[in-house]
Structure formats: structure tokens, C-alpha cells
Structure 1
């Protein structure tokens, strides 16, 4: 079989992954699980597929070693929705190569990282390198929405046996030690409808929601925190729905709020503060009724840079990128990952490292640098060897 780390194998392999539509919703990740299982089988590695729901699944492969140490390589199978023809130049699932870039949905977020981790594991097996501990490759469904695959794995497996997790999200091939927490809230405001020509007889929920949005932004400034690695907390109102038609006073309006947190902010107290502020508004406008629904709750992920997993990653990055390069500085990433579900309540060290620029994620004409993708295969391979050791040692 051709060397799985070679450009001749690795680039067409990534193209195959991009060409499989796993946009979430609905996901349809099972198609990609089957493709990955076929490739693993060709390299002599057994794997198992676990159904998450109809048409959706996780894939897990374990390369066992005689020792007790266990390292997980984790990536997600799904992507966000494709861009429209008008928005982009390249087809979302075309995997078009131009220059040294591959274009397509998931090239950065994060099928390139997923492919690189699989090929790193396969190359170790192909070359007869026996690791001293277990290397676990986990491909999950649903990370882009609710981490349904990671949550299923956490419910059915023992995270306590792991010694570290590597998440292959895009970091520009730099070592990231964590990410912000994410709290998504849906706030609904209920008023009273009336004819548009007689607005005084109604209670306009859309206009009332303007006051709620203003309150949220004022409150965000009060509790804003900054972490030197993870960055600053933030609040953004990213979706609003309300109203029936132009001549009807709306009796209902809903907003979806995306809150990103850094220490020392905690989601429970923060949500209670927001609900208390809404109660204050309701006391001023007793005819309104509010409802707060939690859509997502992902905690902060942070790993001490002195942890062995991180120091090992920095040493490998130094050799790949040059001693004076900014690549040697640890960083945080602004997005959340499956690490927030799998880090065993903060016990496990989590390394976030992958090819691709996170700023390209969810954007039209998403792309990855092919050389960076190929270099990441070698990075993951070396990380597994150095963290787990080899059986001959």
C-alpha cells in the first residue's frame, strides 16, 4: 500500500472527505464514518461504528499498546451549512485545488485535522511502530450543533482512563491550550396583539425586546472579564424572530443570545443575573411576560502549559516551525470544541492543534493550505510517539 503520509495518498484522501456532505443540520455523518472505516480496514486497523441516531454515528479505532497510558485523537465529522453559489467562487463540496490550497466546506473546520489524525495513526501501524500505550481515534457526530456524538461517547465510555486528548480543530498549526465557555440562551417576550392602526390597544413584543437587548449589552459590559490566554468574554444577539405582518402588533418576539465566557465567569450565576434583570423590567412593565431557555452550556477548557502533553507539543512545533517563531507561544481559541464534553470535568489535559485558519471556519470559500495539512500528519504522529512512548523503550 502507498505511504499514507505521502502527498499522493493524503491529498486525495482529504478530497474524498470534503466531497461527502455532512452539513449539520442534518449531519448524515454515518456516510463519512463508513468511508473512514473502509480506509482504516485497508491499513489493517479495526474500528467500530456507534449509531447516534438515524443516519448519524461516531467511529472509534483503538491501536493498543502494552502500557497503561492512553491518548485520544478526536475530531468531528460534521460541518456547518454550505455557502451559496452567489456567496462563493468554489463549490462547497468540490474539494477544488488551486495553487497550494484546497477549497471546500470543512477544509479548515475540521476535516483536514480529522484526516491528518487518522493518517498519523495509520502510518504508525503501517510502519510497524508499536506504541507503549493506547492511541484512540474518535470521530464524532454533531459537534457543530450539540455535540451529540461526544456526549454519547462520554455517557458510554470511561473518560477516567484517558491521559490526554488532542482536538484537531484549526489553530493555524499553533499550540492552543483551551477555549472560552459558551452559553446560548433563547429569550422570549410575550405581549398582546392588536390592529396596527390601534397600537395603543396592544403590547408590542418586538419593541419591548429592544429594551431587553439594550439591557443585555449593558449587563455584558458590567461582567466582562479578560484572560491573557483565552481572551475576553462577549455577548452577541445573533437571531431574532417576531411579528406576523405589517398591520398586526406582535405579541411574541424571541432572540437567541450567544455568550462566550472566560474565568472567573460561571454560567449558572450569570444566567441567574440575567433572569433577575429581566424581572426588574417586568416590574416596570407588568403586562409583559418573559421566558428564558438554555440552548447550550459548554464550560471553559484550559490546560496548564506545564502539562506534559502541551510541553511535548511545543517541542515538536519548535522543531517544525523554527525556534524564534510565534508558533512557540501557547494560545486560546475563540470557538468551543468537543473537549468541553470530553475533558472529564477539567481533569484531562486538552491540546487543540490543527491545520487551517479558524477565521475561515463557517465562511464562503473555506480553504486549507495543503503543506500545512501534510505537516500536521507528521506532528500528530510524533506527538503520539513521544507522549505514549514505544513498546521497545
Structure 2
């Protein structure tokens, strides 16, 4: 990172959410090291948002209104980022409506966090009760995800009628999310010296049929609630062989399948076992998707408030955790998700302001 000095500052939650985003970005919070940012968020919420109940759980900070409204909206965002890649401190280009913030976390997802914090501090009489969840360790293995810990330890904090995950979505509603499953497809052979190769059976050669099926696979496009989910089936790794003079007796092709949320993980697994019938298939990881749920009245109302046509979320996000709890859930946040995790990460100020305005109008109207 060079000789960069980071200064933790007090957060003004009532300020322009663009400036709040800049302040959040300049507090580094790589996964597992969110303490400084969680401290700042907790202090600001307790000091500036006295209408909220605030609790701390590890490096997650939770806040909610308890106004006795007929419905509750849960807004969620993670505080952590991927490792810094020579892209801090924050840098600005353009000005006015063309202002763009550059730096680690601008897209994924401190712009969304800033929108949530601004809403928490400035909307004191919402028509829905509101819950704000700022959590840790989203960018690492799922077992460390702070949202999972909250679900285990403080489950009542995740209950509501609609969940809005403020992950980057180009400031439009991305509904639901795909599921994901990874499998290892194995071929077996018999070892032999390569000088007498006819005495063996080459497992790597045997994997050619696996690759042929992948190359010829026709992925589905599934329309659910007007959102089109494009599935995918890709080989992401291949390995085999023990030495340069030995016919290999095993080859493993790792395959990732992104499936539409009309399929359960079990159905996706059954589908892959059918695709690769005749081969050994071992599941190494799976996560269910989330249906868009746009027919639910609160979700439908939010989509209308956001304007435009909701689109399918092509990827997995924590909306799936909320969907598993029986809640409709959408992604809605500033920034282009294709820039997440890149050195070029940047977010337009116009996206941040649009998301803040849409959410404020939705919870206040």
C-alpha cells in the first residue's frame, strides 16, 4: 500500500451520503479486521440516532426502530472488504453530478453502507419499522459470515416483511439470486510406465468425455416474476497425474453450476448427476438461491418505488439467507457489481444519491 496513513474519523450520519461513503472508505476494514469501522459505526449510531435500539455482536452493529408499525423492513450490508490492492486512500474524479469515488470498498459495499447509515439517522418516523444490519466477514468463507452468526445468536433481529441487501446493483432492483453448486467429476484409470502405456488406462484422456458434455451443454434461461436468470455450467479446475513418466490413474474436473432459484440445491445436484452419469460426482459446496418474491405486496411496492424494471441477480448474495427465513429479498445498492474486487473499483456519486432518495421515499411515504 506504500506509506499511506489512515485516520479514523467521527462519522456524520446526517451528512451527504456521498461524503459519508468517502469517510467509510478511508477506514480500512479488510475481512477479519473490521473493528475500527465497527467502532465508528456503533459510536455514530448511538450518538446521532437516538430513536434506535443499537446492539453490538462481535464486529457487527445492529440497529432498529420499535415504533409498533404493521410491517418491518430489514436493510443489510457488510462492513468488510477484500484485501486492499493499492487503491486506498480514496481518490475522486469529476465533480458535481459527474463525481466518482475510487477506492477499495467504494462499490463493495461502503456506498451501500453509507446509504443505510444516512437513512438510519435521518428517517426518524418511518411508516415501516426498520432494522439495519452492518455485519462482518462477508468476503471470506461462509462459516465466518457475520450474518450467519447473527442468525444463530440474535435471530429476532433478522425477522421482517422485506429484506433489502444494499450490495451493488447499478442502483436498480436485482431480485433474488442464483444458487451455486460445485462438484468434482472424477475419472479413473490404471497406472503404467509411459514407455509401456498400452498396459495402463489414462484417466486424463478419460476426462475428455466430461469436457465434451460441458462444451455441448445448453444452459437454461428461466423467467421468474419477469426476471430472467441465465444459468451456467463451467469447468473451473482440472487436475491429474503423478509424474511425467507415469500414465495417470485419476483425473478430477471441478465444475461450478449457477442455477436459477426455481431449483433447490438438491434438484441442482440431481441434475448434475444426470449430466455426468457414468462418472463419480462428489459435491464440495452448495448454496441455494432466492426467488425474487416480487409478488409479495411489500416487495412489489419497493420495486415500484425504485422505478424501472427489476432484473435477475446473476450471482449469489446474502438475499438467499433472508429468503431461507421466508422473507422476500432484493438487492439494491450503488455501483457496478462487475467492478467489485477489482483494483479499479469506483462508484458514481449519482448512484449513491439515487439509492438514498429511493429508500428514504419508500420508508417515509
TM value normalised by structure 1:
0.76
Q: How far apart, CA to CA, are the structure 1 residues paired with 2:93 and 2:339?
A: 16
Structure 1 residues 229 and 192, CA, compared in 2 at 3 Å: closer, same or farther? same
* Displacement after TM superposition at 1:361 (Å): 2.2
Aligned counterpart, 1:236: 234
- Which structure 2 residues correspond to residues 49-60 of structure 1 after superposition, within 5 A? 49-51=56-58, 57-60=59-62
* Displacement after TM superposition at 1:167 (Å): 0.9
1:52-106 Cα shifts (integer Å, max 9, x gaps): xxxxx432122322334221111123334555xxxxxxx2333222222222233
1:131 to 126, 129, 151: 126
Q: How far apart, CA to CA, are the structure 2 residues paired with 1:3 and 1:82?
A: 25
Aligned counterpart, 1:165: 163
* Displacement after TM superposition at 1:343 (Å): 2.0
Q: How far apart, CA to CA, are the structure 2 residues paired with 1:161 and 1:32?
A: 25
- Structure 1 gap ranges (5+): 52-56, 84-90, 282-289, 319-327, 387-393
Q: How far apart, CA to CA, are the structure 1 residues paired with 2:18 and 2:296?
A: 37
1:66 to 65, 68, 71: 68
* Displacement after TM superposition at 1:117 (Å): 1.0
* Displacement after TM superposition at 1:360 (Å): 1.7
Contact 1:225 1:264 in 2 (8 A): no
Aligned counterpart, 1:146: 142
* Displacement after TM superposition at 1:377 (Å): 2.4
- Which structure 2 residues correspond to residues 7-46 of structure 1 after superposition, within 5 A? 9-17=19-27, 19-22=28-31, 27-44=32-49
Structure 1 residues 92 and 11, CA, compared in 2 at 3 Å: closer, same or farther? same
Task: Please say if 1:224 is aligned against 2:231.
Answer: no
Q: How far apart, CA to CA, are the structure 2 residues paired with 1:161 and 1:11?
A: 27
Aligned counterpart, 1:351: 330
Would you say how many aligned residue pairs link Structure 1 and Structure 2?
Answer: 344
Q: How far apart, CA to CA, are the structure 1 residues paired with 2:62 and 2:56?
A: 6
Using CA pairs under 8 Å that are at least 6 residues apart, name the structure with larger relative contact order, 1 or 2. 1
Task: Please say if 1:96 is aligned against 2:91.
Answer: yes
TM value normalised by structure 2:
0.81
RMSD of aligned alpha carbons: 3.0
Aligned counterpart, 1:76: 78
Q: Secondary structure at the match of 1:337?
A: coil
* Displacement after TM superposition at 1:112 (Å): 1.2
